[in-house]
């Protein structure tokens, strides 16, 4: 059995959608991010010491702008997609995340991985992320080593500065270590 041209094209476009998401968050590219979500996006990220839970594109954009701020250096790489088309304009995707998150204020260095389960919807001809969840596979948090030199830091310029942050406590809760 072979896929159709349309199905193969959908695989390509859905992958590119998610690729843009990861590039957008780590570089605080709000213009890019604004086009990637359905208005009713549902998010549930179950991290090791946090949980993100929110609904709606505006909330998502505000959450992201506050999380990838000028005191953070972040790398979120989504790998090894398993995309399935579930209708003409709907699809699911599994992705395997590797992330590094350096918090310069708290001086912590987190490395982790997670499995995403996503749903995508085509809206006005364009694939969007409609639902996204993940569960951690592993997460290790360490103090940022004192002898580490941060020699490049794009978010330092592109991310929100401390005075620009807003309250996102409605979207994220912090839990004890597992």
Which residues in this chain contact its own copies in the complex, by CB under 8 A? Answer: 1-6, 8-9, 11-12, 16, 18-20, 22-23, 26-27, 47-49, 73-75, 77-83, 94, 96, 98, 100, 102, 111-113, 115, 125, 135-143, 145, 147-155, 177-178
| Residue 19 CA, distance from chain mean position | 10
| Pair of tokens at residue 1 | 């059995």
CB 31, min distance to its own copies, A: 15
Residues 61 and 84: beta-carbon distance below 8 Å:
no
Residue 143 bridge partners (DSSP): 108
CB 56, min distance to its own copies, A: 25
CB 123, min distance to its own copies, A: 15
CB 150, min distance to its own copies, A: 6
Choose between 148 and 170: whose C-beta lies nearer to its own copies: 148
Q: Cβ contacts of residue 113 below 8 Å, gap of 6+?
A: 96, 97, 98, 99, 136, 137, 138, 139
């Amino acid at each position: 059995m072979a896929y159709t041209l349309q199905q193969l094209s959908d695989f390509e476009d859905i992958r590119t959608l998610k690729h843009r998401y990861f590039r957008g968050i780590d570089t605080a590219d709000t213009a890019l991010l604004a086009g990637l979500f359905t208005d009713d996006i549902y998010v549930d990220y179950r991290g090791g010491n946090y949980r993100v839970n929110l609904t709606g594109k505006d909330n998502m954009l505000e959450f992201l702008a506050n999380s990838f701020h000028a005191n953070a250096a972040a790398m979120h790489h989504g790998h090894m997609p398993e995309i399935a088309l579930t209708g003409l304009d709907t699809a699911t995707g599994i992705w395997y995340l590797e992330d590094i998150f350096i918090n310069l204020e708290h001086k912590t260095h987190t490395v982790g991985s997670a499995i995403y389960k996503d749903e995508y919807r085509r809206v006005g001809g364009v694939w969007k992320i409609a639902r996204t969840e993940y569960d951690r596979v592993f997460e290790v948090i360490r103090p940022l080593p004192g002898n580490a030199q941060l020699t490049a830091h794009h978010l330092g310029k592109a991310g929100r500065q401390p005075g620009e942050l807003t309250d996102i406590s409605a979207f994220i809760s912090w839990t004890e270590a597992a």
